[in-house]
Structure 1
């Protein structure tokens, strides 16, 4: 017998979603889905809509790819761009699934390794990010608001 059977619940018990007010984003999402269905019903507007979604998603992916070598959320922005594109294109859904599966495999593989292997991977990643930051600062120079410290002379950044 299920422990959550209604007879076993305290008097006046309601599930969480009954105790709360309707979620505000639900109306917005349903409105968007109705609008999207209307847009996709016409072949001409469907092409325009798909072009805009594809262009916006591609722009987000390109911005993310340009940020990948820098410290920060470069790959996350790429994946967000793929989410945008995958809302309209089947090939992007397959690519997103491929990325998701391989990131999960990579994470499981890394977590199954010994501690020294994980630390080595982390150190190599940190060294790569430090090298990219150094190269970027070497090319564009240090901003004026950065104080004069001896470390910048040792790194040949001043």
Structure 2
């Protein structure tokens, strides 16, 4: 399929979606329910993304996805998405210009956050239990996940 056919298919799908959404707007109860569902789903995805930020993986991508879901219905989320993306791009550009020592320190801090949170959640003790290694210091300080 060539580029113009892809664009045409995308445009047709976008028009169908817009007509469907306009139909919902004409029905106040359906529109309200739809916006509530979008709000709940968007906030859940956003919360998962925020929790995932310090861990290796797509934490920021999930944050942007959550904001994008919310931005389909809420102007404040559109503004927040734009603002967060600008700040993220600026920080990543700054980080890319830093010395290797700053990058290594950042990686070490990220690793420390991951290990500390896994320890606090009791995951380290649980994993130790799987392999038969259970020193007392692996137990969660707040009692989660340990016997």
1:17 aligns with 2:3: yes
Q: 1:148 to 1:85 in 2, by over 3 A?
A: same
**Equivalent residue pairs, number:** 140
**Residue range with higher mean Cα deviation, 97-106 or 77-86:** 77-86
Q: What does 1:117-128 align with in structure 2 at a 5 Å threshold? A: 117-128=102-113
More helix by share: 2
**1:143 deviation in Å?**
5.5
- Matched with 1:39 is 24
CA distance in 2, matches of 1:144, 1:71: 21
Does the 8 Å CA contact 1:70/1:133 hold for their aligned counterparts?
A: no
Deviations 1:66-95 (A, max 9, x none): 445655544433322111111011110111
- Higher Cα Rg, which structure: 1
- Matched with 1:156 is 138
Does the 8 Å CA contact 1:70/1:132 hold for their aligned counterparts?
A: no
Q: Unpaired segments of 5 or more residues in structure 1?
A: 1-14
Which of the numbers 117, 130, 146 marks the counterpart of 1:146?
Answer: 130
**1:34 deviation in Å?**
2.0
1:84 aligns with 2:66: no
CA distance in 2, matches of 1:62, 1:42: 30
Which of the numbers 48, 52, 62 marks the counterpart of 2:37?
Answer: 52
Which of the numbers 116, 122, 147 marks the counterpart of 2:101?
Answer: 116
Does the 8 Å CA contact 1:82/1:92 hold for their aligned counterparts?
A: yes
CA distance in 2, matches of 1:137, 1:62: 21
Does the 8 Å CA contact 1:69/1:132 hold for their aligned counterparts?
A: no
CA distance in 2, matches of 1:156, 1:144: 8
TM-score, normalised via structure 1 length: 0.68
Q: 1:113 to 1:66 in 2, by over 3 A?
A: closer
CA distance in 2, matches of 1:135, 1:36: 45
